[in-house]
Amino acid sequence: MNGRAHLHPKGLNNTTQVGDVRCAYGVASPQSLDMKQVLQHRIDSTFAHYDVDGNGVIELADVYALAERLLRAFGEPASSERGRELVEAYDRFWEMLVAHCDTDRDGQVSPEEYREAMIQMFVTGGPIEADFLEVVQQLLDLVDTDGDGRVDAGEFAVLLRARGLGADDCGVAFAHLDTDGDGAISVQEYITAVRDYYTNPAQDTPGSWLYPEALQRA
Ligand SMILES: [Ca+2]
Ligand SMILES: [Ca+2]
Ligand SMILES: [Ca+2]
């Protein structure tokens, strides 16, 4: 990385009720079946988000297409220093996907492999893996375009808009995700939101604002 300030993760807490969620992913009452449906739908939605070319598997080409989308949102050529950093960060994101999801090692992540890995990583798993932390750190470093070590509302909106969130929703999403109200999205806030997204089907939780609402409806 260059000399830009880093956003250091503070201690990470697992604030979600893992016990409840395990129950939701298992088979129990009709109520938890609803919950399971919403959460499965969220996993399948992010899968569809990552499968940019829609061929039913996530491959390196999809990850590059996502990098391309963010480069366009930043108005940054892939050949600039920042552009190269972004593509390298997405290379590492792909390596992480392969390491965690591509169980049969065929260079493609199937919906089943992805579902299994997300449940393992965010629902039944223990602490968040170090390489996931690193990928989030890199993403937020990229989004911190003025390099002051803080991802403010304007900077975060670029990421959310690249994900398809409407301009009007970006401010609301930021307010929900900035849970300590310091005007910036920290690594911890982002990771807590990701876990929340995959484990808490309630509306208006921080996690529900990570992706456009249309992606979350069962
Ligand atoms: Ca694909
Ligand atoms: Ca900043
Ligand atoms: Ca904050």
Span 85-117, pLDDT tens digits: 999 999 999 999 999 999 999 999 999 999 999
Which ligand number lies closest to the CA of residue 62?
1
* Model confidence pLDDT, tens digit, residues 145-168: 999 999 999 999 999 998 888 888
Which residues have a beta carbon within 5 Å of ligand 2, which is an ion? 144, 146, 148, 150
| 175 Cα: distance to centroid of ligand 3 (angstroms) | 9
Q: Is the pLDDT of residue 140 over 70?
A: yes
| 207 Cα: distance to centroid of ligand 1 (angstroms) | 25
Calpha distance 206→218 (Å, rounded): 18
Calpha distance 111→89 (Å, rounded): 23
Q: Which amino acid is at 190?
A: Y
pLDDT of residue 3: 45
Q: Which among 125, 118, 19, 110 has a CA at the least distance from the CA of 56?
A: 110
What CATH architecture is 25-210?
Orthogonal Bundle (1.10)
- Residue 186: pLDDT band (50, 70, 90) is very high
Give the mean pLDDT of the chain.
83
Q: Is the pLDDT of residue 1 over 60?
A: no
Which ligand number lies closest to the CA of residue 183?
3
CB distance 193 to 177 below 8 Å: yes
Q: 112-120 long-range contacts, Cβ below 8 Å, gap at least 24?
A: 114/43, 114/47, 114/50, 114/58, 115/40, 115/43, 115/44, 115/47, 118/43, 118/46, 118/198, 119/25, 119/43, 119/198
Which ligand number lies closest to the CA of residue 141?
2
For the chain, what percent of residues have pLDDT higher than 90?
Answer: 52
Name the residue with tokens 């920042």.
82
Name the residue with tokens 């939701």.
24
Burial class of residue 108 (count of CB atoms within 10 Å of its CB; 0-12, 13-18, 19+): middle
As beta bridge partners, residue 89 has none
pLDDT of residue 150: 97
| 106 Cα: distance to centroid of ligand 1 (angstroms) | 13
Rg (CA), the chain: 17
